[in-house]
Amino acid sequence: MTVLVVGSVALDSVETPFGKADLVIGGSGTFFSASASHLSPVQLVGVVGDDYPMEQLEPLRARGVDMAGLEQMSGNSFRWRGRYRHDLNSAETLETHLGVFSHFSPKIPEQFRRAPFVFLANIDPRLQLDVLRQVERPKLVACDTMNFWIESRRPELLALIEQVDLITLNDGEARQLTDCFNLVKAARWIMERGPSMVIIKKGEHGAFLFKERSIFFAPAYPLENVFDPTGAGDSFAGGFMGYLARTGDLSDDNLRRAVIYGSAMGSFAVEKFSVQRLLEIDRSNIAARVADFRRLVAFEEEVLA
């Protein structure tokens, strides 16, 4: 099955303790597509300016990302500049320039409107709502957001939350949105407002999937070298949604497997700048990492005598 994503297609400038990258391809829609396309067909909706290096998106197209919904407008592309200090879990946003995103109104191509899986990646909640009005009864709608929108578009974000099945947030965003320090309470606060599932990511400390009656936890893959955390969250979402779209199965067991696929894809994203590592890997790398996850958490319980 197909997954439709609407998100930012950006030029990122990133500084980490290990190096710098200037104006490399990034954005929530780009990372999501680079990740999910390993597992299922992807339809991407977004906008870029006339300064965008379109040829760098070609590897995504070649892997099955349908870009019929990616508009090119005159003006500057969305640009984000961020820095990570030694705590690689939290990005410090130095600059956000919306560029062509500030007057973008997403038009979902006719052939994308029946996508069974829809991911509203991190962009202005007004645009996320606009996309929801154009799709036809998807099997699952998920969304993401960040502090920038929680601060500047709270009413629209709350209206969006009412209409989605699942939201992904990192721990800081969940606390900021709900005003609950405790993450179990934060997830409950969100589920009372609409979504039946909440994923709270804690960077190198793993991710929780909360449902009404169950909680699942997956650790993050213990990488020896984390190079650039940018895009980890979007790549997690790509692995999670891509796996669900591939299997079409929303059972509890399959949702748990999807969280592991999300964690595996997030772990690849952080090994290099931009989408570089996501473009290098293939199914065998993904399968090996998923198998590593199993070994990481499996143990035999021994009853005490």
- The minimum distance between CB 301 and ligand AMP, in angstroms, equals 36
Report the residue count for the chain: 305
- The minimum distance between CB 59 and ligand AMP, in angstroms, equals 17
User: Please, which residue, 1 or 129, has the CB nearer to ligand AMP?
Assistant: 129
- The minimum distance between CB 299 and ligand AMP, in angstroms, equals 31
- For the record, the structure tokens of 83 come out as 């820095």
Is residue 243 within 8 Å of 290, Cβ to Cβ? no
Interface contacts to ligand AMP, rule CB under 6 A: 8, 10, 12, 26-28, 31, 80, 96, 122-123, 146, 148, 230-234
- The minimum distance between CB 108 and ligand AMP, in angstroms, equals 18
User: Please, which residue, 230 or 267, has the CB nearer to ligand AMP?
Assistant: 230
Under DSSP, is residue 249 helix (H, G, I), strand (E, B) or coil?
Answer: coil
User: Please, which residue, 66 or 173, has the CB nearer to ligand AMP?
Assistant: 173
* DSSP labels, 103-164: G------GGGTT-SEEEE-SS-HHHHHHHHTTS---SEEEEE--HHHHHH-HHHHHHHHTT-
- The minimum distance between CB 291 and ligand AMP, in angstroms, equals 25
Alpha-helical runs (H) found in 153-228 = 154-161, 171-178, 183-191
- For the record, the structure tokens of 38 come out as 């390993």
Is residue 91 within 8 Å of 79, Cβ to Cβ? no
How far apart CA 265 and CA 250 sit, in angstroms, is: 19
User: Please, which residue, 279 or 301, has the CB nearer to ligand AMP?
Assistant: 279
- The minimum distance between CB 238 and ligand AMP, in angstroms, equals 10
User: Please, which residue, 80 or 293, has the CB nearer to ligand AMP?
Assistant: 80
Q: What angle do CA 30, 31, 32 make, to 5 degrees?
A: 90
User: Please, which residue, 98 or 250, has the CB nearer to ligand AMP?
Assistant: 98
User: Please, which residue, 32 or 210, has the CB nearer to ligand AMP?
Assistant: 32
Q: What are phi and psi of 71, to 5 degrees?
A: -85, 150
How far apart CA 278 and CA 124 sit, in angstroms, is: 25
User: Please, which residue, 123 or 214, has the CB nearer to ligand AMP?
Assistant: 123
How far apart CA 175 and CA 185 sit, in angstroms, is: 9
Under DSSP, is residue 298 helix (H, G, I), strand (E, B) or coil?
Answer: coil
